[in-house]
Structure 1
């Protein structure tokens, strides 16, 4: 399989929101292996230091930051951290998220709100801060990536509120790109729609059970990370909106549409 040339990512700094598990962790590992500079962000801090050490060992650079409130002030601090340590960033990836399983009427309303806070508002607040920073910095072809879901555009019983949160994220991501285009701002707003994977994060099902982490580098999260980074490289070079799917053929060039 053809791999992106090392220099494509080694020239970049990525902020990865949701780096402590799943797709975010796999993306950080692959970016670090390619020599990228990574700002690892998550509410769960205990995995970040080990991941940063792993990235440094494989040739990348990494710093960590723990989210506390998931608000714009939190993310503005992270943007300042990236600026202070690495001179800014080129790409901002949002992959926070919980999955909920169960009938809508059986899950407590506070759980629904908590899911929306993590799946939607963390990505929205991160995107707004990233967009403002990239616009102000004059960075050409900077990219914001949001992680959707294979059920983003489907009605999903038993995963109803999760599906709703991801549908909202689709609309936000597309609206942000349209506003970039209308303003003549050379930035990209990308949505990745992955299939279901095993996650290391908590679920809102029942009392909040945890799934065991997958460590196999060929797992679905790693495959999605490969697709994500390839589309990031393409977008950063061509300043075009992409709407890739995690099911995309890994050996094909990244699609670009206007």
Structure 2
């Protein structure tokens, strides 16, 4: 994409945090947007705020864990916008706690939202984007936890590593189609992610332990040093126009990412020193 002017953008998890900040940034640059969210009241307020600023904005209730709901979102998005140029698979929840304490319900909840949600976005939108042609870009919100595994973030890292892998694979596959792909991998951002996560957990996943919730609150709670959502949104919009695959807002993550790949590379040397020749 060379411009946001007149382009149609769909953003899941669009009623708050990075999703809403991105909607504000995209519309400021001339885009028309469909916001998707599971929270009707927050969605209505977000759409109204965008419209009051002069933007074309629409809202569609969507539970990204359900393929039929995301397919409905795609139907409505093409109906409302006519053409969809950008799909931002941003909806997600936060989870923290030792793997030994993770319940089966916790695993299902995190994977359903944070990994199946983006997969459903690809299933529902990609065939139509390929057929449509023109300016097209698919985006994902992953995490620094999708680049470097860390203690206390097991299920979350599993899901976010999957999102990064999905983006990397799609970038290779879609290059010939002229469809750009980007994956956002922030550290902690100043958003109400923790509160929103707990509020949207359905009874189908059972109760979460108080210990895990307390650990998550401590690990993910925003501080004054966190990057703001509107700063992330500007970087994200610039990355779309530059067709940049990775979006890495926190320079503090660079050293950890470098060390991870150095450890991987060093393994080949250590194995060779031990006589492995294959």
Same-fold call, TM > 0.5? Answer: yes
* Alignment partners' CA distance in 2, 1:13 and 1:43: 21
Is 1:223 matched up with 2:245?
Answer: no
TM-score normalised by length of structure 2: 0.75
Match of 2:178 among 170, 176, 186: 186
User: 5, 10, 14: which is aligned to 1:10?
Assistant: 5
Give TM-score, length-normalised by structure 1. 0.81
| 3-state SS of 1:8 partner | coil
2:187 to 189, 192, 195: 195
Change in CA separation of 1:219 and 1:157 when aligned onto 2, cut-off 3 Å: closer
Matching of residue 63 in structure 1 with residue 55 in structure 2: no
How many residues are matched? 232
Residue 104 of structure 1: aligned partner: 99
Q: Higher helix fraction: Structure 1 or Structure 2? A: 2
Pair 1:119-2:127 in alignment: no
Render the CA deviation track for 1:152-174: whole Å, top value 9, x for unaligned: 12121111111111111111111
In the alignment, is the contact (CA less than 8 A) between 1:34 and 1:59 conserved in 2? no
- Gaps in structure 2 of 5+ consecutive residues: 202-207, 252-278
Q: Are 1:149 and 2:157 counterparts? A: no
> In structure 2, which of residues 129, 133, 140 is the aligned counterpart of residue 134 of structure 1?
129
Which is worse superposed, 72-81 or 115-124? 72-81
- Unpaired segments ≥5 residues, structure 1: 1-6, 236-240, 249-258
Task: Show CA shifts across 1:68-117 (max 9, x none).
Answer: 46333222221221221221211000111111121111121111110111
User: In structure 2, how many angstroms separate the alpha carbons of the residues matched to 1:233 and 1:11?
Assistant: 14
State which of 30, 34, 56 in structure 1 corresponds to 2:29. Answer: 34
Q: Which has the larger radius of gyration?
A: 2
> Cα gap change, 1:69/1:17 in structure 2, threshold over 3 Å: closer, same or farther?
closer
1:9 aligns to what SS in structure 2?
coil
* Residues in 2 aligned to 1:192 and 1:156: alpha-carbon distance in whole angstroms: 18
Instruction: Give the SS at the match of 1:156.
Output: coil
Output the CA distance in 1 between the equivalents of 2:209 and 2:24: 31
In structure 2, the residue corresponding to 1:10 is in which secondary structure? coil
- Measured in 2, the distance between the counterparts of 1:59 and 1:234 equals 26
